[in-house]
Amino acid sequence: MWHQRQSCRRGCAIATARAGGESVADLARRVRIAGRALARAGLVSAYGHCSARIDDGHFIVSPGRPLGLVAREEPCIEVATDQPLPPGAAGEVRIHQAVYRRRPDVGGICRAQPPNTMTLSVARIMPRARHGVSSYFAPAPPLWDDPALVRDDASASRVAEALRDGPAIVLRGNGALTVGATIEEATVLCWFLEDSARVELDLRKIANSGAPFSELSAAEATRRATWEGALLDRMWAYLTQDDPELHSTA
């Protein structure tokens, strides 16, 4: 289903750095904005990181500190996909390396700790495709069933393999990873994943009522999981409103 939605992305107003000839400095600005958006939405706390691809062998990742505290024009960290992590990069940035190596379609990655997603993951429950925004993960995101931090290359490669060609993977008791064609898409999908978990939890609270739970069919999910109609741009605007770098250029 992920590949069936590629044509929808081509109509999105947000261009990738590679396609648009964007400078690395402006790409870093977008990464900082994304990180602060995740923090404002409560999707990260003291931990978490986001990144954007520069080219086939390099990407930039947010500074190794709480994303909500990253300042305007604060330098991001450039990372090679096939070299040891540079100083300052968090250990789990190895997952970003592994995903970028394996997925040429990915231009942005968010590593976050969405609270409802975290709660479900401890019970090994994945949010199902129940409503509009959960359709992007239909029928459900995969679960990485290991609560350990992913801080070695072998584990990072296995996480990337478990992600397959989808937009998200949930890490049991350890948050989630979302990927997209751009850092904006990965950020929006992180919010979508958490809203999917919210709906799943709310439904399970009324499980004893006898009410049936609906789930989108494969055809319904494919039809609904679209970016047409500026859906991505509108959610990005919602998440980044009043960011200090939103309308600046590098």
| Average pLDDT in the chain | 91
pLDDT for the residue 247? 83
186-232 pLDDT, tens digit per residue, is 999 999 999 999 999 999 988 776 677 899 999 999 999 999 999 99
Find all residues with CB under 8 Å of 190, minimum gap 6, and list them.
38, 43, 110, 112, 114, 168, 176, 178
124-169 pLDDT, tens digit per residue, is 999 999 999 999 999 999 999 999 999 999 999 999 999 999 999 9
Domain annotation covers residue 115: yes
pLDDT for the residue 11? 31
Domain annotation covers residue 51: yes
Concatenate the DSSP letters of all residues of 33-93 into one string: HHHHHHHHTTS-SS--EEEEEEETTEEEE--SS-GGGPPTT---EEEETTSPPPTT--TTH
| 22 vs 11: CA distance, rounded Å | 18
pLDDT for the residue 209? 66
**Three-state DSSP state, 112:** strand
* Domain containing residue 222: 3-240
pLDDT for the residue 160? 98
For residues 237-249, give the mean pLDDT: 91
Residue 6: is its pLDDT beyond 50?
no
pLDDT for the residue 21? 66
* Residue 5 backbone zone (phi > 0: left; psi -120 to 50: alpha; other: beta): alpha
| 213 vs 215: CA distance, rounded Å | 7
pTM over 0.95: no
Domain count of the fold of the chain: 1
Residue 87: is its pLDDT beyond 50?
yes
Domain annotation covers residue 199: yes
pLDDT for the residue 205? 87
pLDDT for the residue 196? 98
Backbone angles phi, psi at 110, to 5 degrees: -120, 130
Asked if 50 and 139 count as a contact pair (C-beta separation under 8 A), the reply is no
Asked if 216 and 129 count as a contact pair (C-beta separation under 8 A), the reply is yes
33-57 pLDDT, tens digit per residue, is 999 999 999 999 999 999 999 999 9
Written as one letter, the residue type at 153 is: D
Domain annotation covers residue 250: no
For residues 108-137, give the mean pLDDT: 97
**pLDDT more than 70, % of the chain:** 90
Residue 65: is its pLDDT beyond 90?
yes
Domain annotation covers residue 248: no
| 221 vs 223: CA distance, rounded Å | 5
Domain annotation covers residue 113: yes
Domain annotation covers residue 167: yes
Domain annotation covers residue 249: no
Q: What is the CATH number of the domain that holds 93?
A: 3.40.225.10
What is the band of 250 on the pLDDT scale with cuts at 50, 70, 90? low
| Residue 137 CA: distances (Å) to CA of 56, 188, 193, 201, 236 | 26, 13, 8, 16, 18
Written as one letter, the residue type at 29 is: R
Residue 12: is its pLDDT beyond 60?
no
pLDDT for the residue 208? 72
Handedness of CA 95, 97, 100, 106 (dihedral sign): positive
Cis omega (within 30 of 0) on the bond before 104?
Answer: no
| 113 vs 92: CA distance, rounded Å | 13
For residues 20-40, give the mean pLDDT: 92
Cα dihedral value 16, 19, 23, 29, nearest 10 = -10
